[in-house]
Structures are given as structure tokens and as C-alpha cells.
Amino acid sequence: MAFICIFEVLLAIICFLFLFCLRNNVHGTPKNFPLVGMMPGLLLNTHRIHDWCTEILERCQCSTYLFQGPWFAKMNMLVTCDPANIHYIMSSNFCNFPKGSEFKEIFDILGDGIFNADMDLWKKQRKAAQGFMRHQLFYLFLLRTSRAKVEKGLIPVLEHVAKRGLVLNLEDVFQRFAFDSTCILVTGYDPECLSVEFPEVLFSKALDDAEEAIFYRQIRPQSFVKLQRWLNMGQERKYRKAWEVLDDIIPKYICQKREELNKLKEGFVSEIDEEGVDLLTSYITEEKTTDLKCDDKFLRDTILNMMLAGRDTTSSGLTWFFWLVSRHPKVENKIIAELESIIPAEETKKWRLFNAEEVKNLVYLHGALCEALRLYPPVPFQHKEPLKPDSLPSGHPVYPKTKILFSLYALGRMKSVWGEDCFEFKPERWITDRGGNKHEPSYKFLSFNAGPRTCLGKEVAFVQMKCVASAIIYNYRIQVLEETPVVPAVSIILHTKNGLMARVSRRWA
């Protein structure tokens, strides 16, 4: 008995010393150990990495600190959410901070697409994409297909579960909606994964697997990642399989589109004028105007980049938006009142769908969506590295190959940026004293990027989110199940770990 008591005391002391050693330094950064650096703290907090990073940056001077990885692992990175640093890197000294070779290696599945591209190639791709996405024909296509997908895809699913009193994973529904919608806009084809059958979609599953593997590539030593790749095991095995699936599916879309366009003759122009046009059609038919070689490899990379961006921004934004609204009934009531204000009195308190143009300028709904994106940005981290030695506004020196990581999640939770109430969900912070939408600088609200790389799909995302939000909030009651915790998953996209499980019921008879 005495031996057992002594053993228990020693074990308690060892545990205490271990936890004591893991405590943060006096200036707020994680404990830096010999050989392994700050890796122990990272590994212990991977499951809550966004909140962990926020806590560290809140304590650090200038909201910036140097994370030091294991020796010789090339994992050192400067982590920041300082708006001055962000503005300097993303805008005023943009040319010195490209994505870099390491970014392209981590995201190699995206090929030479716009997310990986730098310099002249990026400029050419952005110019072409901007021209196509701002064209009136594409906007007409966006309005028509968004309304159709809500009416013929989303509503039947909600009606199905509401009538039967079923529990629904809203995050899965939003991912299916966004995947179908983005696939239509990018390729012109509807995979129809949003239906009451909830079919498995290999394309969408492959994107999820690739995103998860890419996240782990950023928090593990490169040597370990390369070993996994060589042995074809773990996350790298999943990544390779996802790549194979994507490379099997995307070329079929391209081949089908080329065959379709080759068959069209004189009636093609009038058909486009009436129906609008998808991006793949634009790239193929307008190749000579783009200064780009739109071969199958380029189209494959372009489709994948746009699918990744379009699907995840919309679905993640909607998921966290509805979770926050479900916890704030006053916000929900204000959104309903705003929707009622734009329709005739005799049409209120009745089932109704809204057109994109009707909800486009709703101030409170727009503010609520921005507030959700502030607190839960779809892409919680961004990665940059300088070409030449430089010094950031915070005073931190950076050199070529220095990895600079922005934490967008932490940025939305900095009291120095958003005030003492930064953790609160307050759509009112996006409304001016005159009742209009308040603009916040992109280096403060980074959900759609900043500077020359500002997201081209921002308007697309808002059109889709407003169509979905107005349809659901006005016509249905959403009861999120309390027994299923809603917390961020470990991924490069801010998905939830367990989904957004809820019951749906009709608001009006």
C-alpha cells in the first residue's frame, strides 16, 4: 500500500511538472522546447487549433508571434492577425508577397490554377476570370440557376424532412446546394446531389478528403509528409485517392462540353443570350480574348480551383450563419420583419420564395451574413512568404522562405480590432447610423481576401447565401439539436466537426 501511495504521488508530481512545462511563456507564446520547439503545444491543441491560436494572438504584442517548430523541420512561421501587417502584405507591398513555392507544393492538387498562380500567369487568369464573371450573361445565369436550385433542390428536401419530422444535417444540405450550384455555374452541368435520396457524390467527397489532407500538410514536418507520400499511407494515401477521383471526373465535364459546343451552330448565340452562360463555355469559346492556352490541363485546374472556392465559401458561411441565428431569436425576427417589409401586406404570413434581386439590398440580412463570416470565416488561415527581406509594420523581420500565416478566425475575435464585444453576434455593427450597410476595410474583414487578390466570387456567394437564407428563415423554423456540439473541424475550410443537426418545421400553413 505504501508503495502504491508513493507511486501515485510521483505520478501526480510528474503530471504537474509536464503541464507546468507546457504552460505559455510570460509573453503569451507557447513553450519553446529544445529540439521539438513549440510542437507539443500544437499537438495538444490541434483539435481546437483556431481558438488556441486566437488565445495566443490576443496575449501577444501586435497580435503577432513566431511559431518555432522542431529543429530542421522547416516549420517556423510568423503567425499574425495584425491589420497593419495584413494590409502591408496584401496591398501596399503586394509584389513582395506571392503565394510562393511552398504554398504551391502544399496545394499541388490545384495545379497551375488561379489560387496557386503568381506573377504574370496569375494576372492573365484573374483578368480572364474577372471578365467572364462580371459579364451580364454570367450574372443572368447566376440569378436563374440560384433560384432554380432553391426551388427544385433545396425546398423539396426541406419539405420532405419537415413532413416526416426527421433530423437533418443542415451542413450537408448546404454543401450539396453549394456543390450543385457551383458545378452548374462553372461547368454548366448539374450533378443533382441535393435531393431527398442524398446520393453519395464522389467529386464532393474527394474535395473533402483533399482539404483534410492539405490541413495536416501545414502542421506536420515536411519530412513526415514526404514519408507518408512515399509509403502511400495515412493522409497522403487519402490525398492521392482524392486526386485520382478528381482527375477521373473533371476531364469528362471538359470532353462533354467540347462535344456539346462543336454540335451547336447558328442558334448558339441566341441560346446563350436567353439562358446566360457558364464559365467553362466562356473559357472554351473566348480563348482568343484571354491570352491563355485553354487546353484540357488548364481547364482542369481552373474548374477545380473554382469548385473548391465556390462550394466551400457558400456552404461554410451558411452553416455558421444558421447556427448563430438559431441561438439569437431576436436576429431571426428582425430578418423576417425585413423580408416582410419588401412584399405587399396581403402576401405576408404566407409561404413565399424571394428572387435574388428582391433580397439583394436588404441591409439587416446582409449585415447578419457579414457578421457570421467575421466570426467564422470559411478559410480560417492564409499563407504567404516574401521574395525579398522585409520588415512588417509590427516590427517583425521576414526573409525569403519565411512562412507567414494569417489567422482570419483570430482576426474576427481581436478586441483591439472589433471592440470589447467582438465575440458577440451583432449584425448591427454592419449598419451605419443612416441605416445603410457599413463598409469595413478588407484587411479588417478578410473573409473575401484583400488587395489585388480580392475574391472574384464575392457577389456570387452573397447572391446564393441570400437566396437560401431568405427561403429558409421566412418559410421554416430551424431547431438545432443541443446534444450535438457545433465546433470547428480540423480542415483548411471551417466546416463543423459533427455537422449542424436540426429539425425543420413549416412556419406558415
Minimum mean pLDDT range among 207-216, 261-270, 402-411, 477-486: 261-270
Name the region of 276 (left: φ>0; alpha: ψ -120 to 50; beta: rest).
Answer: left
Q: What is the mean pLDDT of residues 92-107?
A: 88
Q: Is 509 exposed, middle or buried (0-12, 13-18, 19+ CB in 10 A)?
A: exposed
3-class secondary structure per residue, 358-427: HHCCCHHHHHHHHHHHHHCCCCCEEEECCCCCEECCCCCEECCCCEEEEEHHHHCCCHHHHCCCCCCCCH
Sign of the torsion angle spanned by Cα atoms 452, 456, 461, 467: positive
Q: Which residue has the cell 456540439?
A: 485
pLDDT winner (highest mean) among 189-203, 217-231, 467-481: 467-481
Q: Is beta strand 501-506 parallel, antiparallel or unpaired with respect to 397-398?
A: unpaired
Cell numbers representing residue 99 in the block: 503565394
pTM as predicted? 0.90
Name the more confident of 217 and 425: 425
Strand partners, 398: 390
Q: What is the pLDDT of residue 10?
A: 44
Cell numbers representing residue 439 in the block: 463598409
Q: What is the mean pLDDT of residues 369-381?
A: 96
Q: What is the mean pLDDT of the chain?
A: 89
Considering only CA atoms, which of 401, 73, 100 is closest in space to residue 226? 73
Gap between the Cα atoms of 116 and 106, Å rounded: 10
Return the C-alpha torsion angle 377, 381, 99, 459, nearest 10. 0
Q: Report pLDDT digits (tens) over 329-355.
A: 999 999 999 999 999 988 888 999 999
Considering only CA atoms, which of 193, 221, 208, 271 is closest in space to residue 490? 208
Q: Which residue has the cell 497522403?
A: 236
pLDDT grade, residue 28 (50/70/90)?
low
Q: What is the mean pLDDT of residues 454-470?
A: 95
Residue 335, C-beta contacts closer than 8 angstroms, at least 6 positions apart = 325, 364, 365, 368, 469, 473
Residues annotated as binding site for heme?
Answer: 455
Q: What is the pLDDT of residue 325?
A: 97
Report whether 30 contacts 42 (CB < 8 A). yes
- The SS3 assignment for 75 reads coil
Give the other-Cβ count within 10 Å of 148's Cβ.
Answer: 13
Q: What is the mean pLDDT of residues 392-405?
A: 92
CATH of domain 37-506: 1.10.630.10
Q: What is the pLDDT of residue 278?
A: 94
In the predicted model, is pLDDT for residue 211 greater than 70? Answer: yes
In the predicted model, is pLDDT for residue 22 greater than 70? Answer: no
Q: What is the pLDDT of residue 199?
A: 93
In the predicted model, is pLDDT for residue 266 greater than 90? Answer: no
Report whether 336 contacts 472 (CB < 8 A). no
pLDDT grade, residue 61 (50/70/90)?
confident
In the predicted model, is pLDDT for residue 12 greater than 60? Answer: no
Q: Report pLDDT digits (tens) over 118-172.
A: 888 999 999 999 999 999 999 999 999 999 999 999 999 999 999 999 999 999 9
Cell numbers representing residue 320 in the block: 455558421
Q: What is the mean pLDDT of residues 50-57?
A: 94
3-class secondary structure per residue, 263-317: HCCCCHHHHHHHHCCCHHHHHHHCHHHCCCCCCHHHHHHHHHHHHHHHHHHHHHH
- The SS3 assignment for 100 reads coil
In the predicted model, is pLDDT for residue 264 greater than 90? Answer: no
In the predicted model, is pLDDT for residue 16 greater than 60? Answer: no
Q: What is the mean pLDDT of residues 354-375?
A: 96
Q: What is the pLDDT of residue 407?
A: 95
Residues annotated as binding site?
Answer: 455
Of all residues in the chain, the percent with pLDDT exceeding 70 is 92
Q: Order of strands, edge to edge, in the sheet holding 476-480?
A: 167-169, 501-506, 476-480
In the predicted model, is pLDDT for residue 281 greater than 50? Answer: yes
Q: Report pLDDT digits (tens) over 402-445.
A: 889 999 999 999 999 999 999 999 999 999 999 999 999 999 99
Q: What is the pLDDT of residue 401?
A: 84
